[in-house]
Structure 1
Amino acid sequence: MSTLRILALAISSLTLTACGGSSDSSGSDTYPDSYIQFYNGSANSANTTLQLIEADDDEIAIGSATFADATSLVTMEGGSYDLELNWTPASGETATVRTDKVTLADGEKTFLAMLGDFNSPELLTFKFSRDDELDDQFKVAMLDLVNNSNSYDLYISEDDQAFSDAKLVNSASYKGLTQFQTYDTGSYIFYVTKGGDKTVLFKSDAVTLSYETEYLLVLRSATGPSAGNKLALDLIGNTTSVTTLEDITSNAQFRIYNSMNNTGTGSVFLGDLTATPAIAKLPIDTLSAYTEVVAGDYRVSLTDDKGALVMRNGLMTLSQGAVKSVVFYQDANDKAAAITVTDSKTPQVYDFVFNAVNTIPDYDQVSLYFVKPGYTMENTAYYVTTLNYASQTSVTLPAGEYTMYVVHKDNNNNKILLAQTELTKLVSGSNYLLLAEKEQNSLSGFKLTLAK
């Protein structure tokens, strides 16, 4: 696939403190140093870097994290540090969104969580001692970053048990961390309820916790199209890989783009053609709104404006919480075909993550260029070198204005311009889909559509 260039732990004492707090930990043979990790819980944030500054002004980059992601666990010398949370705007100059102080102690992990509006974010600091006595065991706790008046209970069960067999880990309110509990390594299911209530609001799929370490579960509001009041759990260990646990009781969502020039207004059916269409009378070259359905495997069919069958028996698999787009198009044999892509559920604010789909059968592959004002295809930093026919790729662009081009390169690397968009400003909160298509009415015979 082409791409653009471009836990928790044994607690002898657990406190929520302001940055600059101190600890009396003296370390251990297993964990003699101090440790720090940064989690980005600000939904409208850019990719954010944590930097520590020593007394002699030496700067130490801990790492960077996008929303719902974390840095790896970094080993440090104990002591007091100034800190900065930085990001890089389109200008290329580093901008600081928050400064603070933090004190690190030997044998102790400091977990920093950024939350709130990225224009003026909060920074929570949690400190707890590393546990060097785990024996085929792990520890787990939950941090509540759901901004409401509710408290939430975290439950855990073995993967072959029901909620009635689950054990209460503990409770937390907004900005609070539960106490840590110890369990044998293995495969588990997590549940979330409102505090003191037994109605399950969130149920994860089974997840294997096999390391003798401490895990944090961050409870937050789900993001993505029509997220509503849904919840998400981010599982954080000691690496930069954060696993977002999906609620297996949640529905899925899909939308349709109709690139079938000979269908007129098309209708899309899931399963039985005699049922009410899931999406009715969708005009040509139009992207529908998202439709919410129960998760599952669906037979997808398309009819034309007269009700005649254009395509049948397409397969669309929608897992719990999935968000997908389906593109209907005419293939090289002039028959109906479909491409299904998985849409990003990240907030589209500073960075836009979307799919590009190539339905042009005339060439085996094309290239895409995303050009800001004042730049050209020769010096833009944003491009896709190779996008094969009937394929898709994920694109990430920083906020701004772009003219987008689809180009074919011959064997001598000569470029043929097939189509381009107007200069377009990416609109915050939009879930885009970029399509390279045939177009009989254009001078070139092709077009490039940025739909949302």
Structure 2
Amino acid sequence: MKQTPWRYIGISAVMATAVACSSDDSESTSSGSYIQYYNGSANSTSTALVLDDYAYSEVSFADSLPRYEYGTGTTELEISGFDAQGDELSIYQSTIELSDADNHLFMLVGDYSEPELVDIVYSRSEMDALNSDESGDYSKMQVLIAHAAMGESSFDLYFGKQGEAFSSAVMLDSISYKDHSDEQMFDTGEYVLYLTESGKAEPVFTTAAMELTDNTVYKLIIRNSFGPGQPKITVDNVDSTGTPDPYVNIDANAEYRVFNGLNNTDMIDAELVSNQESQYLYELEQSQLTEFKEIGYNDYGVTITNSASNQVLANNLLITFNQDESKTIVVYEDELGEAKGMTITHDHRPRAFEHQISLANLVPEFEELMIYFVRSSETIESAEYKLTGVEFTELSSISLPSDDYEISVVFKDEHGTLTLLYQSAVVQFSQAGNYTMVLNPDDTESLGYRLTTFQ
């Protein structure tokens, strides 16, 4: 049975007074420790920090709890998650000692089958003392950097002011996986974090400017990322609020592919043009999905033409590619038969037991459709997983556990009559990662529609 954050009624007296500390907290004056939890296990389910049988809110990958005040003394710590059936399980247990004025960032790392917990203990007393003058002008903040990116190399860490060259940046530390730097104090302001390969002085990763203020310890966490950029990392800026700000490499490329969902044109060409570069794809057949292709981050005008006649079908569709993004451009026909385009942004993160399914409905003939994911022991009527009311050009999503499914697309008219538009063979959702589906008209299919599934 799933836990909720309030599953335990018998909360200790210490926990009864637990409060979240905001990102602009002044110095701590009460007796106690402070705790925060970050989920850096890329293929994990949502997980929860449990202290002395008190479960905090569940946290997904690349997210964190706010900073909370807690008590001191010997404490039973647990991290709970979910198994393949959706039942709760304990994935980590230990006993820890919490001391007065300690600050702990608990960071879950590694593969979900064998995760590890890194306990980062830091102090903010010096910063609090400097910021405690009568003016209340908080002019200092602190930064520490942690490495949660499994499989990635060691990095040298450089920290510089926005607007200054990399040569002016200060080297903070060199850290490898599961390591972290000490907290270091700086004036508040705008800063850039640079990562280099160990022993080298050329950045391989550079963040955009980060505004760091408010008497806060900023935990900059290097974690796994799954876009086209190199190295395969993102930096999460975790303050005290529990809502990390992600920073991708400002120099990273994007990637794209094109799906030809047109029913009335045999082959198409695609042209992508920005003020920096142009790319071309030729003779895409009906229902063809191209391979991913790298492209520089920018705004692009996309033109679609008929390969045979060179007739322009869609002119200067505007598509933006941001750093480290992965997108599919889907070309389809609207209610009037005119070529249009939509983009689907992909999340390629692997997941332990479930898959995020994104489905684009590009069938204009029906107002709403129902999509059923039917397992071997089910029928359409008893299917646990389904999408209902899916409208034309709508991108819907559903989370499915790993299993075998038949996928049926159904239209229900105002009289309750059901019309089957598409029924798949058995589809096995077992490979790590997420899936995208595109439903579009296709005269070559027996029922007149095609559902294309790809990762």
TM-score of the aligned structures, taking structure 2 as reference length: 0.82
* Residue 167 (1) aligns with residue 170 (2): yes
Rate the CA distance shift 1:313–1:182 in 2: closer, same or farther, 3 A. same
Give the counterpart letter for 1:447 in structure 2. R
Q: Deviation of residue 66 (structure 1)?
A: 2.6
Cα–Cα, structure 1 residues 140 and 420, in superposed 2: closer, same or farther, change >3 Å? farther
Q: Deviations over 1:271-308 (max 9, x none)?
A: 29xx9853333332122221111111112122334262
Q: Which residue of 282, 298, 304 corresponds with 2:306?
A: 304
Equivalent residues of 2:123, 2:183 under 8 A apart: no
- 1:152-191 C-alpha deviation (Å, 9 max, x unpaired): 2322333333323333333323322112122333333222
For 1:126 and 1:334, the matched residues in 2 are separated by 59
Q: Distance in 1 between matches of 2:269 and 2:430?
A: 29
Within 1, Cα distance between the matches of 2:303 and 2:372?
33
Q: Judge conservation of contact 1:34–1:109 (CA < 8 Å) in 2.
A: yes
Indicate the residue corresponding to 1:35 in structure 2.
Answer: 34
- In structure 2, the residue matched to 1:95 is 89
Partner-residue secondary structure (3-state), 1:164:
helix
Amino acid at match of 2:104: T
Q: Give the match for residue 10 of structure 2.
A: none
How many pairs align? 417
Tell me what 1:341 maps to: 344
Query: For residues 353-395 of structure 1, what are the alpha-carbon distances to aligned partners after superposition, in whole Å with 9 as ceiling and x for unaligned?
Result: 3421111111233343334443455555544343331232343
Unpaired runs of 5+ residues, structure 1, are 1-27
Distance 1:328 1:31, change over 3 A: farther
SS at match of 1:287: coil
| Distance change (3 Å), C-alpha of 1:438 and 1:151 | closer
TM superposition shift of 1:65: 2.5
Contact 1:267 1:277 in 2 (8 A): no
Within the candidate set 262, 265, 271, 1:263 is matched to: 265
Identical-residue share of aligned pairs (%): 29
Letter aligned with residue 334 of structure 2: D
Task: Check whether the contact 1:348–1:430 (CA below 8 A) recurs between aligned residues.
Answer: yes
Deviation at 1:246, TM superposition (A): 0.9
Q: Which amino acid aligns with 2:391?
A: N
Matched-pair contact (CA < 8 Å) for 2:205–2:231: no
User: Aligned partners of 1:393, 1:409: CA distance in 2, in Å?
Assistant: 18
1:152 is aligned, of 140, 147, 155, to: 155
2:291 counterpart letter in structure 1: A
What RMSD over aligned residues (CA atoms) do the two structures have, in Å?
2.8
Match of 1:181 among 181, 184, 187: 184
Q: Which moved more, 1:410-419 or 1:440-449?
A: 410-419
Contact 1:356 1:433 in 2 (8 A): yes
Residue matched to 1:109: 103
Residue 44 (structure 1) shift: 2.7
* Structure 2 segments unaligned to the other structure (5+ residues): 1-26, 132-137
Cross-structure match for 2:120: 126
The 5 A counterparts of 1:183-262 are 183-224=186-227, 226=228, 229-262=231-264
**By how many angstroms is 1:411 displaced?**
4.9
Q: Which amino acid aligns with 1:364?
A: E
Against the structure 1 CA distance between its residues 31 and 411, is the aligned structure 2 distance closer, same or farther, given a 3 Å change threshold?
Answer: farther
Match of 2:54 in 1: 60
1:231 is displaced (CA, Å) by 2.9
- Measured after TM superposition, the shift of residue 336 of structure 1 is 0.8
Q: TM-score, normalised by structure 1?
A: 0.82
Distance in 1 (CA, whole Å) between partners of 2:297 and 2:28 is 49
User: d(CA) in 1 for partners of 2:201 and 2:243?
Assistant: 31
Q: Which shows bigger deviation, 378-387 or 249-258?
A: 378-387
Report the counterpart of residue 79 of structure 2 in structure 1: 85
Can you list the C-alpha shifts for 1:326-346, whole angstroms capped at 9, x where unaligned?
A: 110111111111111211142
Partner of 2:280: 278
Q: Tell me which moved more, 208-217 or 335-344.
A: 208-217
- Secondary structure of 2:255 counterpart: strand
Which is bigger in relative contact order (C-alpha 8 A, separation at least 6)? Answer: 1
Counterpart of 1:36, as a letter, is I
Q: Is the partner of 2:167 in helix, strand or coil?
A: helix
> Residue 56 of structure 2 aligns to a residue in which SS?
strand
Cα deviation, residue 129, structure 1: 2.9
Partner Cα separation in structure 2 for residue 401 and residue 420 of structure 1: 14
- Partner of 2:58, secondary structure, is strand
